[in-house]
């Protein structure tokens, strides 16, 4: 038991070192675009993992997480624009370009949004829950598409990435490391959450609500908290994406973004800790590599996804576990 734990820790350390070294390796290989790719994977991984907490653990199949992803992006974008124009938002909120302010602001805004959407949506279940979360996301999408003060459909350019401790955030490697640090922190919290008693209760509610009710657990409240946490995580990812892209647009709020996050979760493995990160990595890399190879890349991507879903019950993590199991 001790030995396997030590091995696990060793593996985690090596993994972390490898992740830290990505920009150095990419630079040495002359493929610096992979730094941005790795950054995007971390960000989408965070968003997908957050969705997975609601979807995989809580059984809350949200088709509207793009709302939180996009809101996170717009918090950064609108605060930056307010800062650049030296005006006050709603007449009393000053703008900012400090990451240490925009991230808490994102947490606040997406938390409130998730509380409102969750409080209403959780009165339904099943397919209706899927559709009602979609409905709220679509309303936000149309709202931001028509918001001409912030670019409307054309999106909002963020001239400079948010500042943090005087680091050179223009440098892509620095930005990657900052994202990695945030992702690592996120991962620790997320992993603990899934294993905490709270996570167990949320999972329990998915498996057998009646039994949990018999234990005196209020399903609605636990689910709402899970949904809010999930929304906040996705919002943070959206805020980071806006920083990395230096751009945000209603595209982030569109239903296909919700779909994309969902596909990442399912591809990686629903209800697994690392699956969503794996799913995000495979989907984004496949898109990029296949696209460079042939203009008919969607066909091949579709076939690959189809084979995975038909052959592997439980996504890519199931395959990974199978390989691991065989080895030991």
Shortest distance, position 292 Cβ to another protein, whole Å:
6
Shortest distance, position 197 Cβ to another protein, whole Å:
26
Q: Is 247 in the site for another protein (CB under 8 A)?
A: yes
What does the CA dihedral 192, 182, 165, 30 come to, rounded to 10 degrees?
Answer: 150
Shortest distance, position 109 Cβ to another protein, whole Å:
20
Per-position DSSP letters for 139-174, written without gaps between them: HHHHHHHT-GGGTGGG-EE-SSPPB-TT--TTSHHH
How many residues sit in the footprint of another protein (CB under 8 A)? 88
Q: Is 124 in the site for another protein (CB under 8 A)?
A: yes
Shortest distance, position 209 Cβ to another protein, whole Å:
15
What does the CA dihedral 277, 282, 287, 291 come to, rounded to 10 degrees?
Answer: 150
229: tokens are 């946490």
Shortest distance, position 36 Cβ to another protein, whole Å:
5
- Binding test (CB under 8 A) with another protein, winner from 134, 226, 253, 261: 134
- Binding test (CB under 8 A) with another protein, winner from 62, 97, 102, 138: 138
Q: Is 153 in the site for another protein (CB under 8 A)?
A: yes
Tell me the C-alpha distance between 174 and 166, whole Å: 11
Q: Is 297 in the site for another protein (CB under 8 A)?
A: yes
Shortest distance, position 251 Cβ to another protein, whole Å:
6
Tell me the C-alpha distance between 87 and 267, whole Å: 44
Binding piece for another protein, criterion CB under 8 A, among 106-114, 186-194, 212-220, 313-321: 313-321
Three-class SS of residue 295? coil
Contacts (CB under 8 A) with another protein, residues 263-282 = 263, 265-267, 270, 274, 277-278, 281-282
Tell me the C-alpha distance between 160 and 52, whole Å: 31
Q: Where are the alpha helices (DSSP H) in the chain?
A: 2-28, 33-52, 66-85, 99-121, 126-145, 172-195, 197-207, 209-214, 219-245, 255-268, 275-293, 297-311, 315-327
Contact 47, 69 (CB under 8 A): yes
Q: Is 84 in the site for another protein (CB under 8 A)?
A: no
Q: Is 241 in the site for another protein (CB under 8 A)?
A: yes
Q: Is 49 in the site for another protein (CB under 8 A)?
A: no
Contacts (CB under 8 A) with another protein, residues 157-216 = 157, 159
Shortest distance, position 102 Cβ to another protein, whole Å:
19
Q: Is 18 in the site for another protein (CB under 8 A)?
A: yes
- Binding test (CB under 8 A) with another protein, winner from 125, 191, 198, 222: 125
Shortest distance, position 242 Cβ to another protein, whole Å:
11
- Binding test (CB under 8 A) with another protein, winner from 139, 188, 213, 322: 139
Selection from 237, 226, 228, 229 nearest residue 103 by Cα: 237
**Number of residues assigned to the chain:** 328
Tell me the C-alpha distance between 212 and 204, whole Å: 7
7: tokens are 């091995």
Q: Is 87 in the site for another protein (CB under 8 A)?
A: no
């Amino acid at each position: 038991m001790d030995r396997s734990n030590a091995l696990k820790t060793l593996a985690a350390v090596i993994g972390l070192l490898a992740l830290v070294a990505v920009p150095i390796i990419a630079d040495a290989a002359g493929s610096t675009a992979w730094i941005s790719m790795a950054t995007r994977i971390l960000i989408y991984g965070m968003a997908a993992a957050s969705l997975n907490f609601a979807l995989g653990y809580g059984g809350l199949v949200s088709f509207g997480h793009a709302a939180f992803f996009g809101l996170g992006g717009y918090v950064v974008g609108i605060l930056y624009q307010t800062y650049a124009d030296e005006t006050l938002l709603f007449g009393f909120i000053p703008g900012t370009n400090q990451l240490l302010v925009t991230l808490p602001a994102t947490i606040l805004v997406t938390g409130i949004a998730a509380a409102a959407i969750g409080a209403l949506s959780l009165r339904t279940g099943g397919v209706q829950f899927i559709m009602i979360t979609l409905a709220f996301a679509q309303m936000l999408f149309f709202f931001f598409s028509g918001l001409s003060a912030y670019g409307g459909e054309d999106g909002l350019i963020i001239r400079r990435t948010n500042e943090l401790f005087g680091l050179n955030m223009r440098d892509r490697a620095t930005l990657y490391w900052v994202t990695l640090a945030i992702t690592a922190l996120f991962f620790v919290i997320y992993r603990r959450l899934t294993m905490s008693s709270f996570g167990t209760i949320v999972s329990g509610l998915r498996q057998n609500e009646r039994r949990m009710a018999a234990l005196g657990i209020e399903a609605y409240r636990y689910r709402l908290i899970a949904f809010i946490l999930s929304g906040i995580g996705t919002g943070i990812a959206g805020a980071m994406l806006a920083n990395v892209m230096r751009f945000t647009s209603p595209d982030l709020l569109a239903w296909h973004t919700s779909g994309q996050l969902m596909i990442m979760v399912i591809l990686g493995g629903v209800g697994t800790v690392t699956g969503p990160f794996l799913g995000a990595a495979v989907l984004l890399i496949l898109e990029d590599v296949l696209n460079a190879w042939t203009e008919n890349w969607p066909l091949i991507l579709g076939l690959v996804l189809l084979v995975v879903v038909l052959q592997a019950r439980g996504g890519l993590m199931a395959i990974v576990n199978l390989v691991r199991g065989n080895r030991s």
